Structure 1
Amino acid sequence: MDAAAAPTGPTAQRFYRHRLPVRLMHWINVLCLTILLMSGLQIFNAHPALYWGHDSSFATPWVSMGAEERDGRMVGVTRIAGHAFVTDGVLGVSASGRGGEPMARGFPSWATIPGPQWLSMGRHWHFFFAWLFVLNGAAYLLYSFFSGHLRRDLLPTREELRRIGASVRDHLLFRHPSGEAAKRYNVLQNLAYLAVIFVLLPLAVVAGMAMSPMLDSVLTGWVDLLGGRQSARTLHFLAATGLLLFVLVHVFEVVISGVWNQLRSMITGYYQVPQDSASRTRPRGVEETRERPVVSGDSRRQP
């Protein structure tokens, strides 16, 4: 939220919430993450099982998705740490997309690109958008550091950290900030974005690179720090799962807090600040005192 205020009226205020570089990099991330997720599932379907260590111990996978014969028919079963769950129709066994006939596959065909079963092209798509994603992420980090966006908008203050319990309660009760509080990220957003930027994304990238035999041969030994290539594959999958959960929560919050207002801020940069209770209850004819415009890039910690 690299922002500057732009008041437009006595009781309503438009706020320049996201600068152009942030908006561009956000939508590039949306494109990259969508294609990386779906092409990654295409690659995973070639061998829908996860292991820990250097080798694929086929008899005892940590996670596996497959088909089992039950009551004379093929049933999709997902196994996690030795526990079996029937996931027929979604995981393990799903419609093929051609006539709706069920077939054994990890994830369903609608969740994979560029096709129902095209491993080689899925790898090309995954690697291309992975590098685009890495370059975009590096650009975002450089911009955030040199523009002050990281320090100003993403790092929570001590006071905000002390109020983390109240922020959790507000989220559980679907209470959304208004007035001045709506112009900056809350502490849970700060912590979530920091975890994504400095934990999940680097883990996904490093674990993905660890699966490359070429990189392992050029820089030997470092893959062992992740527990081996199969461990790296598992860590890559877990990091991707964490990113997917973050995206789902992020989209949910956008929906319940005002879809158009949130989308407009990420398309045009301008956000309509929700009025606080004092502004909504002010008697008609009493004009609100116009705030001083916030200096560009100084939105979070105002005097």
Structure 2
Amino acid sequence: MDAIASIDQSKEAQAGQSKKGPLIYRQNHWTRLTHWAWAFALFFLLLSGLQIFNARPQLYIGKESGFGYNNTILQIGAEDTATGPRGFTEIFGHRFDTTGVLGWSGPPGNESARAFPSWATIPSYYDLGTARVVHFFFAWILSATLLVWLLVGLFSGHIRRDLAPRLADIRNLPRDVADHIRLRFHHSGRYNTLQKLAYGGVLFVLLPLMVLTGLAMSPSMNAVLPFLNELFGGRQTARTIHFAVMVLLVLFFLVHMLMILAAGPINELRSIITGWYRTDPPNGGTNSTGRSE
């Protein structure tokens, strides 16, 4: 009887394993290395950038900030009211109370006027000099990593083979959107249409735009690349675009994390850490939730 039970358990184990698709080598070492370098650099760029923004928590459109005129599109600050200091955020003339988060924040009884709270900045205390050093250091790391990834991606064929959308991808876009809405993910080992469009938008639009607007804001770069400042409509407009790109990158990160959790975090993390990715079974088997195994 014990022998029969062992045979049955072995068959059940084999059947369970057969539902899993094969492991494939999906991410090469260059992709994994640049991915984590970007993640590390962008973390420090974001928090040090918010510290720099705190030094002048307004955004403008134009070549200069307004004094005799108002060209402000975003302002974060604090004001005295009958009930005490209150934080506010004003966007295109519409003001919102953001006390405790933006404008006026801190431990109870020890609040202070800060555009972004101390927990969201590097360093946590106000130090513009240190923030600029950290920001510029990681900006060069981001730029160098992006250049390395672009060169390797072009010569290895990764960009053409894996990221460039094809006609079939455009045709599959409505179905791909519907599958994501229903949380139905296909683990084929290839990027789907939405991934190609999202990654392409970040790598070829947002990150280069972040680098170029950063250079356009630098007075020292104006002497080397004077056309950049004019290209973006002045330093203040470049600063506004720089901030908007930062917001879009944060939104991308949040959606990226949600998709990883929904699609299977172990498989996704294994892919970007080791390079190995488990694909769907050959017969396209699905579990009771409609997700691929």
The TM-score with structure 1 as length reference comes to 0.84
User: Residues 222, 20 of structure 1: CA spacing in aligned structure 2 closer, same or farther, 3 A cutoff?
Assistant: closer
- Among 74, 80, 83, which residue is 1:72 paired with? 83
Instruction: Give the drift of 1:269.
Output: 0.8
Structure 1 residue 160 and structure 2 residue 203: aligned? no
CA shift in 2, pair 1:218/1:256, >3 Å: same
Kindly indicate which of the two structures has a greater share of residues assigned to helix: 2
Residue of structure 2 equivalent to 1:170? 179
Count of aligned pairs:
269
Shift, 1:221, TM fit: 4.1
- Letter in structure 1 aligned against 2:39: V
Letter in 1 for 2:144: L
SS at match of 1:62: strand
* CA shift for structure 1 position 16: 0.9
Deviation at 1:260, TM superposition (A): 1.4
The equivalent of 1:292 in structure 2 is: none
Of the structure 1 ranges 146-155 and 114-123, higher mean CA displacement relative to structure 2 is found in 114-123
Q: Identity rate of aligned residues, in percent? A: 45
Q: CA 1:12–1:277 in structure 2 vs 1: closer, same or farther (change >3 Å)? A: closer
The question of 1:103 aligning with 2:109 is answered no
Partner of 1:293: none
Per the alignment, residue 47 of structure 1 pairs with 56
- 2:270 counterpart of 1:264: yes
Check conservation: 2:62, 2:233, Cα contact below 8 A. Answer: yes
Q: Aligned partners of 1:176, 1:65: CA distance in 2, in Å?
A: 40
Q: Which residue of 2 aligns with 1:250?
A: 256
Cα RMSD of the aligned pairs, angstroms, is 1.9
Match of 2:46 in 1: 37
SS of residue matched to 1:64? strand
CA contact (8 A) 2:19 2:281 kept: no
Query: What is the rounded CA distance, in whole Å, between the counterparts of 1:184 and 1:49 in structure 2?
Result: 43
84, 99, 103: which is aligned to 1:88? 99
Of 12, 27, 33, which aligns to 2:21? 12
- The structure 1 residue matched to 2:198, chosen from 192, 200, 208, is 192
Q: Which runs of 5+ in 1 are unaligned?
A: 1-7, 282-303
Is 2:19–2:285's contact at 8 Å kept on the other side of the alignment? no
1:232 to 235, 238, 247: 238
Maintained 8 Å contact 2:73/2:91: yes
Distance in 2, matches of 1:52 and 1:231, equals 5
Q: 1:205 aligns with which of 179, 204, 211?
A: 211
| Equivalent-residue separation in structure 2 for 1:205 and 1:263 (angstroms) | 28
1:110 and 1:116 in contact (8 A); partners too: no
Q: Distance in 2 between matches of 1:222 and 1:164?
A: 35
Aligned amino acid, residue 106 of structure 1: A
Change (3 A) 1:254 1:278: closer
AA matched with 1:83: H
Distance 2:167 2:109 in 1: 56
